[in-house]
C-alpha cells in the first residue's frame, strides 16, 4: 500500500467495514480502494525525476560535473527517495 495521499503516513491504515474504503487513522482521510494507490500526478513526477537522476548518473561517468547540475541532481534524487519510501523528512 502507498502512503496516505493526504498526510503521507503509512502505518495507521484501516478499512471502513461498510464501504470497504481505506481510512487513514492519522488524518481521517477515507478513500475507495481503487483510488488509494492511483496517483497519476505523483507517478508523472516520479517518472520525470527518474529521468533527470538517471541522466546525471550517466553524465557523471562522462565527466560533466558542474555544481548547478549536481545540485539539481541532489534535489531530484532526494525527492525521489522520499516519494519511493514515503519518508516525510
Ligand atoms: Zn492520512
At 22-74, the pLDDT tens digits run: 999 999 999 998 888 888 878 878 887 888 887 777 776 666 667 667 777 78
Cα-to-centroid distance, 58 and ligand 1 (Å): 37
Is 59 in the same domain as 78? yes
Is 31 in the same domain as 53? no
Strand partners, 30: 23
- In angstroms, the Cα distances linking 28 to 12, 25, 45, 89 are 10, 5, 26, 21
Is 33 in the same domain as 50? no
DSSP assignments along 20-64, one per residue: --EEETTT--EE-HHHHT--HHHHHHHHHHHHHHHHHHHHHHHT-
Cα-to-centroid distance, 85 and ligand 1 (Å): 15
Is 45 in the same domain as 19? no
Cα-to-centroid distance, 21 and ligand 1 (Å): 13
Q: What was the pLDDT predicted at 18?
A: 94
Is 54 in the same domain as 70? yes
Q: What was the pLDDT predicted at 56?
A: 76
Strand partners, 2: none
CA angle (11, 88, 3) in 5-degree steps: 40
Total count of domains within the chain? 2
pTM, rounded to two decimals: 0.56
> How far is the C-alpha of 56 from the C-alpha of 64, rounded, in Å?
9
Is 48 in the same domain as 72? yes
CA angle (55, 61, 62) in 5-degree steps: 90
Is 24 in the same domain as 60? no
Cα-to-centroid distance, 9 and ligand 1 (Å): 6
Question: Domain containing 7: what range?
Answer: 1-38
Is 27 in the same domain as 59? no
Amino acid at each position: 500500500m502507498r502512503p496516505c495521499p493526504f498526510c503521507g503516513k503509512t502505518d495507521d491504515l484501516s478499512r471502513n467495514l461498510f464501504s470497504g474504503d481505506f481510512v487513514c487513522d492519522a488524518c481521517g482521510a477515507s478513500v475507495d480502494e481503487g483510488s488509494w494507490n492511483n496517483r497519476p500526478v505523483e507517478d508523472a513526477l516520479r517518472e520525470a525525476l527518474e529521468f533527470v537522476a538517471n541522466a546525471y548518473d550517466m553524465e557523471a561517468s562522462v565527466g560533466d560535473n558542474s555544481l548547478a547540475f549536481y545540485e539539481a541532481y541532489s534535489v531530484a534524487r532526494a525527492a525521489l527517495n522520499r516519494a519511493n519510501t514515503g519518508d516525510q523528512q
